[in-house]
Homo-oligomer: A and B are copies of this chain.
């Protein structure tokens, strides 16, 4: 399974999963869900699954790998007949990378069958799990979906929406759920709207997806983003919206704009590529550099790099080429191979960078190891100077919604000053986009965003068993006043 894991990912924010739901009687819902998941594949390559409902039963199929690996031919898909479907692609956030954790989770409970797909991470997941176990629940997976299934089943409510209204307020953290009964599709977004979830319209029904690019692929029209704290119920009576929590401070994860989302998706009505390009322009204005050319680390930083190049009036060049042909399982080079100089995914282009002062644009620095390696590559390829521009502020605090860094000590920017980082990664200069610059580029003044990883100001009190960021309350206080969040 490692084969699908971009080695750079280990040094990236990785809170990702993709969810997709479709209510479209008369359409080939399993096939359309397959295509929808294909559009969301960048959000998770570890496992994939689809469940369909035909008014009476739910049948599902899931497995490890890309959606194309789990459904290698039309056989399984075409047997999955129904009027509605839900799909999931997974990048392991919490929960081991195991077949059993593939989603959608399909369960039976007192009110019948239920399928659940989830993107997010509950902060109080461990606590809820302990409470449920204490009450006699058994767990077969380590997913948050199983927690919600138990809560719904134990709610005592006969109506699913009633059960959800009783249950959801117990959850703390980031979540976007799609639930499916034999005849109903329900979309849910947490009260802060940390994870995205959009609603669209197809020829014969409605569609829910983590990102709008999935609508484009299947020819659906975007209707609206789900409101934080709201659920949408889709069935033969059409659409119905219900609120399960009072309006909370909106706080979508800003890393969706920086890194997670596909450039052709729209978040909060803004096209991601265009936002990233504005980040690039702003970044260049904040950190003007004298250089010969600009290059971005593919693929995530190409939009930003074009903004940087335009602002600096420098040529945008292809400083790296990324190899895209990854089969089902790719044999990683052994250490001996790496010592021989084998470098798999990224190839710096000597003729382009040799003798040049290069502006290298990337989206973030987490541990710093990737930046170090890329600067090194450029030097080896002959770059005279390497100026690093990063389209996000320094990441100084852990993310409790999914980043797989458990301690802030792993974060280079929590340990070092910017000049120290510059030396550490071997750059001639280093510039981070400011929080203000970032927000200006996003250009949604009315919206709030979770930027806890930049400023340690958490929306929700972190769980007690998780390490608290290592700065004093005073510091936090000062930092967080502007955002008005938990200290």
Contact = CB atoms under 8 A, between A and B. Distances in A.
Interface of A: 3, 27-28, 31-32, 34-35, 38-39, 41-42, 45, 65-69, 71-74, 77, 100, 105-110, 114, 133-134, 136-140, 146, 149-150, 153-156, 202-203, 213, 216-220, 262-264, 266, 270-271, 273-274, 277, 299, 302-303, 306, 310, 315-318, 320-321, 323-331, 333-334, 336-337, 340-344, 347-352
- 3 residue pairs, one from A and one from B, having the closest CB atoms: A219-B341, A68-B327, A271-B351
Given A105-B140, A217-B343, A342-B35, A68 B325 contact: yes
A146 B140 CA distance: 10
Nearest to A96: B59
B213 A321 contact: yes
12 contacts: A38-B344, A68-B330, A100-B106, A110-B134, A138-B146, A217-B343, A219-B342, A264-B318, A273-B318, A274-B352, A277-B315, A303-B318
Contacts of A109: 133, 136-139
A326 B139 CA distance: 34
A262 B321 contact: yes
B27 A331 contact: no
A106 B140 contact: yes
Contacts of A31: 331, 333-334, 337
Nearest to A341: B219
- Say how many copies of this protein the assembly contains: 4
Contacts of A343: 216-217, 219
Contact of A68 (B105, B270, B316, B329): B329
A138 B107 contact: yes
Contacts of A3: 68
Given A218-B340, A273-B352, 8 more contacts: A69-B328, A105-B140, A108-B133, A109-B138, A219-B340, A263-B318, A273-B318, A324-B324
Contacts of A264: 318, 320-321, 347-349
Contacts of A334: 31
